[in-house]
Amino acid sequence: MSASLAFVFPGQGSQSLRMLADLGAQQPLVLETFKEASESLGYDLWALTQDGPAELLNQTDKTQPAILTASIALWRLWQAEGGGVPAFVAGHSLGEYSALVAAGSLSLADAARLVERRGQLMQEAVPAGQGGMAAILGLEDADVIAACAEAAQGEVVSAVNFNSPGQVVIAGAKAAVERAIEACKAKGAKRALPLPVSVPSHCALMKPAAKRFAESVQAIDWQAPRIALVQNVSAQVVTDLDTLKRDLLAQLYMPVRWVESIQCLAAKGATRLVECGPGTVLAGLNKRCADGISTVGINTPDALAAALAAQA
């Protein structure tokens, strides 16, 4: 196990049509991993990620299993190619489930069904068109929180993703999010961009989903993580299974504390981070969260080869 190595797993928004296409063409392990998830879900997940349609892939109950499975395919490839075992894992929102599979807490089959259910419940909690999310750029966290408080007017709107210094995502009822966007601009935000999502994640509107999701979480046979896992809700290493499950449920309606999670990894000596999933969203965020850390991706043949060579 490498004390300075940590794996970080991305969340929703990292999906794209034909993700992992090149690796899938070269590495049977990728297709095997997708086949395993497909059998659990009852449809061909690889075909959906490669051929679309994009509208279906971007549906939250399809997006979540797709990103999870792509991430675990890369994790298995890394291991099969002789990559080092990280000292820590962490995942951004949905990515926390990928981290739990990598850490040996639950099987891919169980996780795929679990995140599909999570997506369904999230969508049911807030009908499409009633919620919203927006990215606020260039404003202090405290100012974003204050703007949300001013804009709420009895509705839900809150800061939900602390992604990097100067990048905070807000979520809530559509009208309240629109008021908060204006309030953030008034406080000096450089940009305030509505996000193309169907569900306002990580805000109080998701509490009913968490209540219903508890049954699915409890029904699974969990194991204690074999790799230290930093959770979103606490931004701390969690080893106790009861706390881990409780925080997974709370994660649905509590903020993702990504800045603090990366700072926790850095404080524990993890300076080499591998983004294990489609896209490169986390690499961009991580470098602004803590000094002295580097993040590399492994989602193409060249990137995987380079990351494996760099550890030699």
% of the chain exceeding 90 in pLDDT: 95
Token pair listed for 282: 């986390």
Assess whether the previous peptide bond of 53 is cis (omega < 30° from 0).
Answer: yes
What number is the average pLDDT over the span 282-308?
96
pLDDT higher than 90, residue 17: yes
Give the pLDDT score at 312: 62
Cα 212-107-214 angle, rounded to 5 deg: 15
The one catalytic residue in 38, 40, 71, 93 is 93
pTM above 0.75, yes or no: yes
pLDDT tens digits, one per residue of 264-286:
999 999 999 999 999 999 999 99
pLDDT at residue number 154: 97
The whole-angstrom separation of Cα 116 and Cα 12 is 13
Q: Which band of pLDDT confidence, cut at 50, 70 and 90, is reported for residue 207?
A: very high
Dihedral sign computed on CA atoms, order 296, 273, 89, 197: negative
At 228, phi and psi to the nearest 5?
-60, 130
Residue 93 is a catalytic residue: yes
Q: What is the pLDDT of residue 197?
A: 84
H helix and E strand count, the chain:
14, 9
Distance CA 67, CA 65 (A): 6
Q: How far is Cα 198 from Cα 307, in angstroms, rounded to an integer?
A: 35
SS3 22: helix
Percentage of the chain surpassing pLDDT 70? 100
Q: Name the nearest CA neighbour of 200 among 127, 115, 279, 136.
A: 127
Distances (CA, A) of 283 to 100, 110, 272: 20, 28, 11
pLDDT digits (tens, 9 = 90+) for 227-256: 999 999 999 999 999 999 999 999 999 999
What pLDDT sits at residue 128?
83
DSSP code for 165 = T
Task: Reduce the DSSP state of residue 60 to 3 states and report it.
Answer: helix
- Strand-by-strand arrangement of the 167-173 sheet: 157-164, 167-173, 131-137, 191-194
Averaged pLDDT, 171-177: 98
Tens of pLDDT, residues 93-143: 999 999 999 999 999 999 999 999 999 999 999 988 899 999 999 999 999
Mean pLDDT of the chain: 96
The C-alpha atoms of residue 37 and residue 45 are separated, in whole angstroms, by 7
Going by pLDDT thresholds of 50, 70 and 90, the confidence category of residue 178 is very high
- What per-residue confidence (pLDDT) applies to 1? 77
Instruction: Write the CA distances from 277 to 72, 92, 214, integer angstroms.
Output: 8, 11, 26
Question: Could you read off the pLDDT of 162-172 as tens digits, one per residue?
Answer: 999 999 999 99
Question: Among residues 243, 148, 234, 135, which one has the least CA distance to residue 190?
Answer: 135
In Å, what is the CA distance from 87 to each residue of 74, 84, 111, 200?
Answer: 17, 9, 22, 33
- 18-61 pLDDT, tens digit per residue, is 999 999 999 999 999 999 999 999 999 999 999 999 999 999 99
| Residue of 14, 92, 198, 202 marked active site | 202
- β-pair partners for 171: 133, 158
Length of the chain as a residue count: 312
The mean pLDDT of 169-198, rounded to a whole number, is 96
pLDDT band at 208 (very low <50, low <70, confident <90, very high): very high
Is residue 153 exposed (0-12), middle (13-18) or buried (19+ Cβ within 10 Å)?
Answer: exposed
Q: What is the pLDDT of residue 100?
A: 98
Query: What are the Cα distances from residue 208, in Å, to 125, 213, 231, 250?
Result: 6, 9, 21, 11
pLDDT for the residue numbered 152 = 98
Sheet of 228-230, strand order = 228-230, 86-91, 2-9, 272-275, 294-297
pLDDT tens figures, 61-97? 999 999 999 999 999 999 999 999 999 999 999 999 9
Question: Residue 29: exposed, middle, or buried by beta-carbon count in 10 A (0-12, 13-18, 19+)?
Answer: middle
